[in-house]
């Protein structure tokens, strides 16, 4: 392949200006499909730069909040139009930076455009209720006001969609933002911010500070002027953010890990179930918080389902995401590579049977990237780490159960509760599952992965802070309610 040597040094956006990092230090963003390819350099910023961004956001806060939501929506609409023109380029950067296929990279960027347009339209919708007062002479109503400066901390697996699904509602409801993306995928978001900046947001309304979690992330979390923190990432970091936010009375929202089941009953359409389970487990190399990682299969159809899954997994073409033939790219980084392989070894040591895969791929061009075979285990029992711990890679654990009731029990026997799938042709099973399953995103005859931008998204149990993102649900987090009684 011909290597692109772009290797541009990116800058922070603070108070409407692109600023080089005061430290003069950068981290190379490396293509996980071919580590000889440097996608760009992300600034390693200091505490002072985060403080400057927060001060700028605070200064811009009042006048941004005083604009009408319709006027704020115009900025989002303009940003969407600019981003739309760069879908191919930014989609390709996304693929080079975190490894998912080009179709997924472009698809995610197009989703970013759609989210911006959706929230631009939100500027026309109602933000309060009129409530009958016990005093006939009074007008009792609610309205919603912005929270103020909000801090957004995002992971690397959806470097366009997740930042946009946080910042678009934050902005339309009148907040100003300081965002810190994951270092592994900062370049992609820098390009999205070039589009936002071109849309002409007033200085200080949108700020991006790149750097480490311990310096940049932590300063955002602890700063008294940051009134709300929206975080997507690991449970470990999420818990720490929650306790710090509670300590200083800040609002917080966490979207965390998952270990999502796909239940296959004896009444399932097995071709559909096998195809969608494999898609949900292996697309994006299993690095979606909503990916299927447990196939819970009723024993009557286990052998047939297993054969269909194996047939599909064997056909998976692993390679560089830029190659149109590729179904599954590399994992996103060296640390992902090490932790997924370690989880596979742990699974083997605990006594699960490796049905397919389980190895790194190092032949030819793949020698330069972080490639792992699509991996399927069977004889997994519900207590094994393969059935309990999030792996965040292309690993599917097959669990055989006696009946539908046991399938639900196993699906729920876990600390996570993000998404779930059921495959059945029976209405009674579908209704029982919809009632009993402990998950925030519930699918019947559909993949556990994927979200609809106009619908609430989030998990139950330890998968979230029990708040919801996206759709109109985002308004809860990014506003406060004022209850007003008015009398002449
Ligand atoms: P991570 O928790 O390591 O990092 C997420 C963000 O937090 C990054 O920007 C990182 O720099 C920052 N961070 C790290 N340490 C910090 C600290 N001490 N203080 C402040 N910020 C800090 O997660 P990741 O590896 O980027 O992402 C993978 C995880 O994200 C998985 O667990 C996955 O399930 C989860 N995820 C959840 C959802 C969801 O919506 N529920 C979506 C995508 C990913």
Distance CA 367, CA 372 (A): 11
Within a domain: 2: no
Cβ 156 under 6 angstroms from ligand 1: yes
Co-location of 159 and 282 in the same domain: no
Within a domain: 457: no
Within a domain: 265: yes
92: CATH:
3.40.605.10
Point out the residues that are catalytic. Answer: 255, 289
Ligand 1 centroid to residue 332 C-alpha, Å: 13
Within a domain: 7: no
Protein residue with its CA nearest to atom 37 in ligand 1: 256
309: CATH:
3.40.309.10
Co-location of 165 and 283 in the same domain: no
Co-location of 217 and 330 in the same domain: no
| Residue found under tokens 């990916």 | 291
What does the DSSP 8-state code read for residue 374? -
Residue 6 in tokens: 């772009």
* DSSP bridge pairs for 179: 152, 208
Q: Where are the beta strands (DSSP E) in 147-265?
A: 149-153, 176-180, 206-208, 226-232, 251-255, 260-264
Burial of 85 (0-12, 13-18, 19+ CB in 10 A): exposed
What is the span of the domain harbouring residue 70? Answer: 12-256+464-487
Co-location of 196 and 339 in the same domain: no
Nearest atom in ligand 1 to the alpha carbon of residue 183 is: 11
Co-location of 338 and 408 in the same domain: yes
Co-location of 359 and 428 in the same domain: yes
Cβ 287 under 6 angstroms from ligand 1: no
Distance CA 171, CA 206 (A): 9
How many independent structural domains does the chain possess?
2
Protein residue with its CA nearest to atom 18 in ligand 1: 214
Co-location of 189 and 298 in the same domain: no
Within a domain: 4: no
Instruction: Walk along the chain (488 residues) and give the pLDDT tens digit of each residue.
Output: 445 555 899 999 999 999 999 999 999 999 999 999 999 999 999 999 999 999 999 999 999 999 999 999 999 999 999 999 999 999 999 999 999 999 999 999 999 999 999 999 999 999 999 999 999 999 999 999 999 999 999 999 999 999 999 999 999 999 999 999 999 999 999 999 999 999 999 999 999 999 999 999 999 999 999 999 999 999 999 999 999 999 999 999 999 999 999 999 999 999 999 999 999 999 999 999 999 999 999 999 999 999 999 999 999 999 999 999 999 999 999 999 999 999 999 999 999 999 999 999 999 999 999 999 999 999 999 999 999 999 999 999 999 999 999 999 999 999 999 999 999 999 999 999 999 999 999 999 999 999 999 999 999 999 999 999 999 999 999 999 999 999 99
| CB contact at 8 A, 214 and 22 | no
Co-location of 271 and 236 in the same domain: no
Within a domain: 419: yes
Co-location of 72 and 200 in the same domain: yes
């Amino acid at each position: 392949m011909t290597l692109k040597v772009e290797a541009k040094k990116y800058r922070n956006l603070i108070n409407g200006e692109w600023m080089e990092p005061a430290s003069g230090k950068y981290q190379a963003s490396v293509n996980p499909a071919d580590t000889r390819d440097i996608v760009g350099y992300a600034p390693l910023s200091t505490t002072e730069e985060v403080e400057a961004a927060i001060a700028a956001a605070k200064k811009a806060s009042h006048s941004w909040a005083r604009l009408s939501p319709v006027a704020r929506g115009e900025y989002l609409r303009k940003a969407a139009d600019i981003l739309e023109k760069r879908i191919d380029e930014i989609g390709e950067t996304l693929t080079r930076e975190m490894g998912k296929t080009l179709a997924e990279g472009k698809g995610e960027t197009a989703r970013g455009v759609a989210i911006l347009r959706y929230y631009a339209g939100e500027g026309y919708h109602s933000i309060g209720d009129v409530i009958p007062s016990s005093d006939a002479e009074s007008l009792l109503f609610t309205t919603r006001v912005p929270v103020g400066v909000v801090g957004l901390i995002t992971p690397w697996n959806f470097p366009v969609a997740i930042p946009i699904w946080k910042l678009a509602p934050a902005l339309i409801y009148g907040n100003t933002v300081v965002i810190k993306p994951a270092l592994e995928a900062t370049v992609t978001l820098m390009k999205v911010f070039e589009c936002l900046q071109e849309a002409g947001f007033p200085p200080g309304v949108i700020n991006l500070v790149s750097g480490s979690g311990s310096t940049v992330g932590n300063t955002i979390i602890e700063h008294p002027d940051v009134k709300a923190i929206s975080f997507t990432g690991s449970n470990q970091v999420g818990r720490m953010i929650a306790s710090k936010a509670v300590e200083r009375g800040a609002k917080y929202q966490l979207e965390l890990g998952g270990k999502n089941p796909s239940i296959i009953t004896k009444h399932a359409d097995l071709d559909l179930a096998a195809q969608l389970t494999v898609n949900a487990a292996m697309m994006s190399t299993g690095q979606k918080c909503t990916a299927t990682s447990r196939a819970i299969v009723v024993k009557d159809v286990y052998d047939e389902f297993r054969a269909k899954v194996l047939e599909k997994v064997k056909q998976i073409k692993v390679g560089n995401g830029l190659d149109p033939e590729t179904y599954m790219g590399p994992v996103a980084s060296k640390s992902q590579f090490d932790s997924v392989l370690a989880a596979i070894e742990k699974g083997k040591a605990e006594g699960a049977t490796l049905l397919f895969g389980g190895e790194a791929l190092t032949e030819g061009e793949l020698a330069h990237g972080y490639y792992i075979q699509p991996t399927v285990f069977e004889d997994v029992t519900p207590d094994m780490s393969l059935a309990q711990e999030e792996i965040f890679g292309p690993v599917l654990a097959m669990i055989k159960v006696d009946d539908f009731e046991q399938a639900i029990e196993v699906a729920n026997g876990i600390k996570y509760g993000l998404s779930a799938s059921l495959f059945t042709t029976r209405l009674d099973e579908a209704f029982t599952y919809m009632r009993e399953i402990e998950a925030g995103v519930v699918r019947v005859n559909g993949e556990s992965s994927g979200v609809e931008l106009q619908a609430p998204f989030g998990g139950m149990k330890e998968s979230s802070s029990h708040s919801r993102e996206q759709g109109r649900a985002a308004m809860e987090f990014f506003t406060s309610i004022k209850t007003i009684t008015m009398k002449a």
